[in-house]
Amino acid sequence: MHVRAYRVPQPKGYALAGSRRSAQVPFAGLVYLTPDYKAARVAGREFILPWRFALNYRTPDHEQANAGDYTNFRRFSADATIQFEGDSQ
């Protein structure tokens, strides 16, 4: 499990607006992330990669949970050759 703390300062916090005044409020919290790993073949080679995840967070008002699977791993690459004028081939 990975736990990440975050803190949002007052200038970037929630904007609360009332009928007579408004305020910008800071906030902070923790995010809990649980990744599962397994072997996956990519471009003919086997790697241990993230497979599933669960993400949970809670505020004073509610609790949220998200989950997902990683699929369709692919290898991306690029090959380039630079040739200058006067270079022989």
Question: What is the model's pTM?
Answer: 0.47
12-56 per-position pLDDT tens digit: 888 888 888 888 888 888 877 788 999 988 888 899 998 898 887
Got the DSSP string for 58-69?
E-SS-EEEEEEE
User: DSSP 3-state assignment of 23?
Assistant: strand
User: DSSP 3-state assignment of 35?
Assistant: strand
